[in-house]
């Protein structure tokens, strides 16, 4: 397992500046960062898996140590299969903490050698979420400060 590689998993439906804030900061800390789009049959994403991967690739293209992948199943199993020792999870508020802590503790039980690291976005992105972004755009609001331009174009194409 590599101490220099981390996994940042998520559905990324839609990719926000909050996600990119964590990706950029992790890319400075780790030699290699795998940003992995999770296939979760319990969720009904707006974007297809391929669309989410493409939007992520476009957004991270200038960071040579960041790669985009996808997976199905348990995150911790994917982390182990990739030889990753650290899973990055974003926390925006206290409301995120309880569910993220439950996941981290279960992952610890399944694979004690894989550590979960919690990161908070910088203050300007604490309120940004994919679901809120979609809601704001659907209601006629401006999302240009919440998502990159290529993501906003795709959101408009899907929602408006």
Instruction: Domain 2-127: give its CATH superfamily.
Output: HUPs (3.40.50.620)
- Say if pTM beats, i.e. exceeds, 0.75: yes
Q: Residue 131 catalytic?
A: no
DSSP codes of every residue in 114-158: SEEEEEPPPGGGTT--HHHHHHHHHTT---TTTS-HHHHHHHHHH
pLDDT band at 41 (very low <50, low <70, confident <90, very high): confident
**Calpha distance 13→151 (Å, rounded):** 10
Alpha carbon distance 59, 156 (integer Å): 17
Rounded Cα distance between 143 and 160, Å, is 13
99 is catalytic: no
Domain ranges in the chain? 2-127
Strand partners, 119: 90
Q: 70 an active-site residue?
A: no
105 pLDDT more than 90: yes
């Amino acid at each position: 397992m590599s101490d220099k590689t981390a996994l940042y998993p998520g559905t990324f439906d839609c990719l926000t500046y909050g996600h990119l804030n964590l990706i950029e900061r992790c890319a400075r800390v780790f030699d290699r960062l795998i940003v992995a789009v999770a296939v979760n049959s319990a969720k009904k994403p707006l974007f297809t898996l391929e669309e989410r991967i493409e939007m992520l690739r476009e957004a991270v293209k200038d960071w040579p140590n960041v790669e985009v992948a996808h997976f199905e199943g348990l995150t911790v199993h994917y982390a182990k299969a990739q030889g990753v020792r650290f899973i990055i999870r974003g926390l925006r508020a206290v409301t995120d903490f309880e569910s993220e802590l439950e996941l981290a503790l279960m992952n610890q039980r399944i694979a004690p050698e894989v550590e979960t690291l919690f990161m908070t976005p910088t203050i300007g992105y604490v309120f940004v979420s994919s679901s809120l972004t979609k809601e704001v755009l659907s209601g006629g609001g401006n999302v240009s400060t919440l998502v990159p331009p290529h993501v906003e174009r795709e959101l408009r194409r899907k929602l408006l």
